[in-house]
């Protein structure tokens, strides 16, 4: 039910994001979803890639500070109010969302979102019992 997200520590330096992304590109690793959380002096790049194990060892080799975090990929109806419906399910189930972001491309009629919950198992239970589809890494085509 969980998929692995890669978090990369980025200091605020011109060209650093490019360096990280181009490393992935050269290794043939595809970014499927990403977001950047930033503060005044540093940022954290979060992404879902098609080969997380390869990406992590690549970063370690290049002395880039990175780590794997479990997140949940959730299908959301691609229409006005679709995301709100899913968020209501979570809210009613007393599940806290730490952050979320969207996949770059669509794999079906539905939009695909990445959620980080403080209680991933609880979130999974609440979502599936409400009929919301939660995907695993195997479920994701081309991942």
Partner 1 sequence: MEIRYWNQRLETLPRHELRQLQLERLREVVGYALQTPFYKKRLPKVGISSPEDIRSLDDLKKIPFTVKDDLRQAFPKGLLAVDMEKVVRIHSSSGTTGIPTVIYYTADDLDRWTDLLARSIVATGAGPGDVFQNMMSYGLFTGGLGVHYGAERVGMAVIPVGGGNTQRQLQIMRDFRTTVLHITPSYLLHIHQRMPEFGLTPADLNLKKAWMGAEPHSENTRLKLQELFGIDIYNSYGLSEMNGPGVAFECVYKNDLHVWEDGYIIEIIDPRTGEPVEDGQEGEVVFTNLIRHALPLLRYRTRDLAFLHPDPCPCGRTARRMSRITGRTDDMLIINGVNVFPSQIEEVLMSIPEVGTNYQIHLSRHEGLDRLTVKVEIYSKLFTGDLAALEALKNKINEKLRASITINSRIELHEPGSLPAIEGKAKRVVDEREKL
**Which range, of 59-67, 77-85, 121-129, 132-140, touches partner 1 by CB under 8 A?**
59-67
42 touches partner 1 by CB under 8 A: yes
Q: Which of residues 22, 57, 65, 108 is near partner 1 by CB under 8 A?
A: 65
Q: Which of residues 11, 15, 138, 142 is near partner 1 by CB under 8 A?
A: 11
128 touches partner 1 by CB under 8 A: no
Following DSSP, what letter does each residue of the chain receive, concatenated?
Answer: -EEEEEEEEEES-TTHHHHHHHHHHHTTPPEEEEEEEE-SSEEEEEEEES-HHHHHHHHHHTT--EEEEEEEEEEE-SSTTHHHHHHHHHHHTTPPEEEEEEBSS-SSSSEEEEEEESSHHHHHHHHHHTT--EE-GGGSTT-
37 touches partner 1 by CB under 8 A: yes
Taking the complex as a whole, how short is the minimal distance between the CB of residue 89 and partner 1, in angstroms?
25
* Contact footprint for partner 1 (CB under 8 A): 5, 7, 9-11, 13, 16, 37, 39, 41-42, 44, 46, 63-69
């Amino acid at each position: 039910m969980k998929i692995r997200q890669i978090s990369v520590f980025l200091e605020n330096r011109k060209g650093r994001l490019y360096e990280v992304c181009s490393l992935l590109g050269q290794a043939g690793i595809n970014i499927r979803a990403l977001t950047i959380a930033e503060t005044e002096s540093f940022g954290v790049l979060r992404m879902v890639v098609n080969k997380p194990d390869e990406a992590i060892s690549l970063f370690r080799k290049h002395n880039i500070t990175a780590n794997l975090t479990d997140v949940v990929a959730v299908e959301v109806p691609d229409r006005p109010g679709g995301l709100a419906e899913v968020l209501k399910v979570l809210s009613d189930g007393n599940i806290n969302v730490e952050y979320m972001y969207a996949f770059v491309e669509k794999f079906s009629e539905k939009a695909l979102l990445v959620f980080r919950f403080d209680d991933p198992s609880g979130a999974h239970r609440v979502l599936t019992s409400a009929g919301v589809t939660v995907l695993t890494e195997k479920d994701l085509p081309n991942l």
